[in-house]
Amino acid sequence: MVKLYDYAGSGNSYKIKLLLAQLQRPYETVEVEIFRGESRTPEFLAKNPAGRIPVLEIAPGEYLAESNAILCYLASGTALWPEAPLLRAQVLQWLFFEQYEIEPTVGTVRFWKLTGRDKTQGSLLEKKTAQGQDALRSLDRHLEHRSFLVGDAYSIADIALYAYTHVAEEGGGFSFDSLPALRRWLKRIEEQPHWIPGPAPYSAAAYL
């Protein structure tokens, strides 16, 4: 059984748990207290040199890091990562978009807002908010005439982009008000078989 080094509040970890639930695949979790330095110990750095969760232990002592790489690994051979080279590459395009345009903006601003850290970020908060809202607009534009991100079928691209996007309004940093295609797409994902909610809400108290 695979073992997930997890943090309940992480959208990156939630992606993996959503996919595993939808694949109906059992797994164990190990909670890593990232805000108490548990992902920066020598033991953890041997699992992932970047010192971040999630990490998947796919066999004893064999580790895979980076949430979107883990999605690809787990979805190999399933319809959620299509094999045709062009579709496969288009899925990857959206996975890279997610880690570059959404996670460091929408994900980070939500974390700051929910934990009160937004007060000390100065102009960076404003910059990341603008970049994130711009990325959400790109997504909305792409979804205007599509049901899913790639090839008109649900894939790990939808799972990856959904994770931080659907909680973007929490904390008040972003708004879906003028993004109707994005809203419809979020609802469509929540209607998929074996969908589970997540990530766990941040509690400000835990980070003070």
Q: Is 92 in the site for a second copy (CB under 8 A)?
A: yes
* CA proximity to 105, closest of 205, 52, 113: 113
Site string for a second copy, 113-152 (x = CB under 8 A): ---------xxx----------x--xx-xx----------
Q: Are 202 and 111 in contact (CB under 8 A)?
A: yes
Q: Supply the minimum distance, in Å, between the C-beta of residue 90 and a second copy.
A: 7
* CA proximity to 155, closest of 85, 76, 47, 61: 76
Rounded CA separation 27/29 (Å): 7
User: What are the residues whose beta carbons fall under 8 Å from the beta carbon of 83, sequence distance 6 or more?
Assistant: none
Q: Supply the minimum distance, in Å, between the C-beta of residue 190 and a second copy.
A: 23
Q: Is 79 in the site for a second copy (CB under 8 A)?
A: no
- Which residue's CB is nearer to a second copy, number 88 or number 117? 88
Within a 13 Å sphere around the CA of 43, how many CA atoms are in the beta-carbon half? Answer: 4
Q: Which positions touch a second copy (CB under 8 A)?
A: 45, 49-51, 58, 62, 64-70, 72-73, 76-77, 85-86, 88-90, 92-93, 95-97, 99-101, 103-104, 122-124, 135, 138-139, 141-142
